Amino acid sequence: MDIKKVFNAYDTDLRLVETELGELFKSDAPLIPLVGKYLLESGGKRLRPLFLLSSARLAGYKGPDHIILAGIIELIHMASLLHDDVVDGAKIRRGMPAAHSVWGNQVVILVGDFLYSNALKKAVSFRSQRIMEALSEATTSMTEGEILQLQKTSDISITEDEYIKIISAKTGILISAACRIGAILNLCSSPEENALARFGLKSGTAFQMADDILDYMAEENELGKRLGKDIEEGKITLPLIYLFKNASDTEKEEIKLIIENFSEAGLRRVLALFKRYSVLEESLKRAQDIVNEAKAELSVFPDSPERDYMLCLADYAISREK
């Protein structure tokens, strides 16, 4: 199934989510809606809201609350991007200047704080302890994931398990929360709720893994950032972990120097080593394995168009433009 079919199936709901996001950016502080308008106009696929919308529909939910909650999920995601770009010193986000490049770090950090607090304030209005637990766990884990990643900056000794722990916390946990909330809305059984949560965690983890792989394959107009941005920032992702595992001792010393002193020539050398050891192919296979695990989680649900849409969402993690 083509991912466009999934987006078309939820087009009406996604438009309502976009309207809700505009409402969530409203504030008496003029800079907040101004930055909000910039973020909304910069695009984004709204995948996290789509995971919540599709989970709610698969669970059989028929009410209106999934729209607001999908907006809350996206607001939390946007807040994390604002903070991450400041921490990373990123200049580009979705092919446009990062918000802090336009308004400065102080404004952007405070706007990110507003988005987090406003998202949770809106969520409280549902008076659901389980929804609040899902969101609170997600926001806490996301911060922990960022701190763990900072601690591992330029650390080539990072293991694959440590890397997966980081990306599960950074990316997987919010998508997991989105899927769990979809189940909570329709009072699903515990096995169904937990299956959806695990599906979201694994899909989100695979999505981040694929994103990290694409950093070495995609040009800026495809992914919204330039080639090799992660290695320049000292982020040791799966391709580098696999390269270091396969490289000779001499090559390992060379890789360490490239990470410590990034240059375009160094990046070209790393890309050549990736090709020599088929590192990107090995990394994509690992991501595919996680996608397969995610899809298996949905076996507790009967066949339906809604289930097929969610399976397609999982596949999309590693089928994007490379």
According to the model, what pLDDT value does residue 225 have? 54
Question: Tens digit of pLDDT for each residue in 154-181?
Answer: 999 999 999 999 999 999 999 999 999 9
Please report which confidence band the pLDDT of residue 218 belongs to, taking 50, 70 and 90 as the band edges.
Answer: low
According to the model, what pLDDT value does residue 276 have? 97
Tell me the average pLDDT of the chain. Answer: 94
Proportion of the chain above pLDDT 70, given as a percent:
96
According to the model, what pLDDT value does residue 170 have? 95
Question: Tens digit of pLDDT for each residue in 252-309?
Answer: 999 999 999 999 999 999 999 999 999 999 999 999 999 999 999 999 999 999 999 9
Q: What is the CATH topology of the domain spanning 3-316?
A: Farnesyl Diphosphate Synthase (1.10.600)
Question: Tens digit of pLDDT for each residue in 244-257?
Answer: 999 999 999 999 99
Q: Does the structure show a pLDDT above 90 at 221?
A: no
Q: Does the structure show a pLDDT above 50 at 322?
A: no
Question: Tens digit of pLDDT for each residue in 87-110?
Answer: 988 888 888 999 999 999 999 999
Question: Tens digit of pLDDT for each residue in 63-81?
Answer: 999 999 999 999 999 999 9
Please report which confidence band the pLDDT of residue 223 belongs to, taking 50, 70 and 90 as the band edges.
Answer: very low
Q: Does the structure show a pLDDT above 60 at 219?
A: no
According to the model, what pLDDT value does residue 274 have? 97
Q: Does the structure show a pLDDT above 60 at 220?
A: no
According to the model, what pLDDT value does residue 145 have? 97
> Domain ranges in the chain?
3-316
Backbone angles phi, psi at 281, to 5 degrees: -65, -40
Please report which confidence band the pLDDT of residue 61 belongs to, taking 50, 70 and 90 as the band edges.
Answer: very high
Question: Tens digit of pLDDT for each residue in 112-157?
Answer: 999 999 999 999 999 999 999 999 999 999 999 999 999 999 999 9
Residue with tokens 């591992």: 152
Please report which confidence band the pLDDT of residue 25 belongs to, taking 50, 70 and 90 as the band edges.
Answer: very high
All residues at 6 or more sequence positions from 259 whose CB lies less than 8 Å from its CB, including other chains: 154, 156, 231, 234, 236, 240
